[in-house]
Structure 1
Amino acid sequence: METVSVKNMVCDRCVMVVKQQVERLDLSLQKVTLGEVIFLQEITAAQKALLRDTLTPFGFEVIDDEKTRIAESIKHKIIYLVHSRESMMSNNLSNMLSLELNNSYSYLAGVFSEVTGSTIQKYYIAQKIERVKELLDYDELTLSEIADRLNYSSVAYLSNQFKKITGFSPSTYKQLKNGKRISLDKL
């Protein structure tokens, strides 16, 4: 079995596109998950090059560097945590990442900063703010419900963080309906 890490997979549609493209290559595919393609057996260097050439036109990159792979894994864990309806974080972010990626948080934070030029916490906040924008655009939940869903300690804390990042209060953003959301792979 071999796992190949893929950069820029940020949603279920990305998983679907990658899966379709890999299936066309007729390789021994087991499954595709967010950021990973898992094969039933090891693939050759030529097959990996073919995979790279197949995925690149769709905006995906096969990752060979271990530190980049770790940074992408951190991103995928955060994306899943923030954007999944089932996510109810019972542990804090640092503990969750350490447990799931089997490394100390200080090591993970150092690698993430080295690879991305930003901190894990800033990336996490950016993801949460994009999720808040999305939920405000849907106009189905109150700000209190959004704060609860995204584990903010209060509506005031959510509002302050939202304004700090976007320049607007959540209510102003909602009134403007400006929809200036950032693509997840650009965060």
Structure 2
Amino acid sequence: MMKLYIKNMVCNRCVMVVEQILKRLDIPFHNVQLGEVDTEEELAAAKLESLDNQLHAVGFSLIDDRKQRMIEQIKNLVVKMVHQSADLPRQNFSDFLSTQLHYDYTYLSNLFSDVEGTTIEQYIIRQKIERAKELLVYDELTLSEIADQMGYSSVAHLSSQFKKVTGLTPSHFRQIRENKRKPLDEL
């Protein structure tokens, strides 16, 4: 078995696209999840190159650098928690990431900052704001419910961060309803 790491997989649709590519290339696999593929066998260099070419054609790429793999794992955990969980965990993201990745948070934070040029905290905030935008556009929840779901202590805290990131208040954003969302892989 071989574990492959793939950059820019940020949603369930991405998982489906990667599964289709693997099937097309006759690469047997056990599991595909955000940023990771478990193949049933080691892949020859030619097969890996074909896979990488197919992935590049749809905006993904194989990751062979250990540090970059760790960065993708951090990003995928954040995306999964912010965008695919009904409620964020009530524990700190730092504790959650350390527990999931089995590394000290200081190491993860320094690595992320060195490679990405931004902090994990800023990345989390940008993800939470994108999720808040999505919830605002759906117009099914109140600002208070969105703030609670996103783990903010108050509507004022959500509004403050929302305005810092977007330049708009959540209420104003909801009113204008323009396409102000960014694709997750551009964050």
TM over 0.5: yes
Deviation at 1:85, TM superposition (A): 3.4
Gaps of at least 5 residues in structure 1 are none
Cross-structure match for 2:36: 36
| Match in the other structure for 2:92 | 92
**Counterpart for residue 129 of structure 1:** 129
Q: For 2:35 and 2:29, how far apart are their aligned partners in 1?
A: 15
Q: Report what 2:160 is aligned to.
A: 160
Please name the residue that 1:140 is paired with: 140
In structure 2, the partner of 1:79 is 79
Following superposition of structure 1 onto structure 2, how do residues 35-74 of structure 1 map, counting pairs within 5 Å?
Answer: 35-74=35-74
Deviation, structure 1 residue 86: 3.2
2:169 corresponds to which letter in structure 1? S
Consecutive aligned runs of 4 or more in structure 1 exceeding 4 Å deviation: none
Alignment gaps of 5+ in structure 2: none
Indicate the SS of the match to 1:5. strand
Contact between 1:137 and 1:179, CA under 8 Å: does it hold in 2?
Answer: no
The two structures, once aligned, show a CA RMSD in angstroms of 1.0
Whether contact under 8 Å (1:5, 1:62) holds in the other structure is yes
SS at 2:89 equivalent: coil
In structure 2, what is the equivalent of residue 103 of structure 1?
A: 103
Separation (CA, whole Å) in 1 of partners of 2:96 and 2:139: 30
Amino acid at match of 2:65: D
- TM-score normalised over the length of structure 1: 0.97
CA distance in 2 between partners of 1:62 and 1:168 (Å): 37
Q: Distance in 2 between matches of 1:85 and 1:114?
A: 28
Which string of whole-angstrom CA distances, capped at 9 and with x for unpartnered residues, describes residues 129-165 of structure 1? 0000000000000000001111100011101111111
Contact 2:90 2:151 in 1 (8 A): no
Q: How far apart, in 2, do the equivalents of 1:99 and 1:87 lie?
A: 18
> Deviation per CA, 1:17-71, whole angstroms, max 9, x where unpaired?
0100111111121121000111012212222111101111000010011111100
Contact 1:2/1:39 (CA < 8 Å) preserved in 2? Answer: yes
Give the 3-state SS of the residue equivalent to 1:185 in structure 2: helix
Q: Percent identity?
A: 51
What is the match of residue 6 of structure 1?
Answer: 6
Task: Determine the structure 2 residue equivalent to 1:112.
Answer: 112
Q: Residue 89 of structure 1 aligns to a residue in which SS?
A: coil
CA distance in 2, matches of 1:42, 1:108: 29
TM-score, normalised on structure 2?
0.97
Give me the whole-angstrom Cα distance separating, in 1, the residues matched to 2:160 and 2:31.
Answer: 41
Matches of 2:180 and 2:24, distance apart in 1: 36
In the alignment, which residue of structure 1 is the partner of 2:182? Answer: 182
Number of residue pairs aligned between Structure 1 and Structure 2? 187
Taking the aligned partners of 2:148 and 2:160, their CA distance within structure 1 comes to 15
